[in-house]
Chain A
Amino acid sequence: MNWIYEPWPWYVAGPLIGATVPLLLLLGNKKLGISSSLRHMCAAILPANISLFKYDWKKESWNLLFVVGLFIGGYIGGSVLANPNPVAISENTQNYLSSFGIQSNPGLMPNELFNWQTLLSFKGFLLMVVGGFLVGFGTRYARGCTSGHGILGLSALQWPSLVATASFFGGGILFSKFILPYILAL
Chain B
Amino acid sequence: MKNIQYIVVGIFFGLVLTKGEAISWYRMQEMFRFESFHMFGIFMTAIPTGAILLFLIRKAKLKTLEGEPIEMPIKPYHHGVVIGSLLFGFGWALTGACPGPIYAQIGGGFLVTIATLLSALLGTWCYGYFQKYLPD
Q: How many residues of A contact B (CB 8 A)?
A: 130
**Chain B contact residues: helix, strand, loop or mixed:** helix
Contacting pair A172 B120 (CB below 8 A): no
Q: How many residues of B contact A (CB 8 A)?
A: 116
Closest to A18 in B: B49
Known: A115-B112, A136-B120, A137-B124. A67 touches B87 (CB 8 A): no
Q: How far is the CB of A176 from chain B (nearest CB, A)?
A: 4
**Contact mask A75-96 → B, CB, 8 Å, 1/0?**
1111101100011011011001
Total CB contacts across the A-B interface at under 8 A: 521
Contacting pair A52 B81 (CB below 8 A): no
Minimum-distance CB pairs A-B, first 6: A69-B10, A171-B89, A73-B14, A78-B108, A13-B20, A141-B84
Interface residues of A (CB under 8 A from B): 7-31, 34-35, 37-39, 41-42, 45-46, 48, 50-53, 61-63, 65-79, 81-82, 86-87, 89-90, 92-93, 96-97, 104, 107-110, 113-116, 119, 126-161, 163-165, 167-177, 179-180, 183
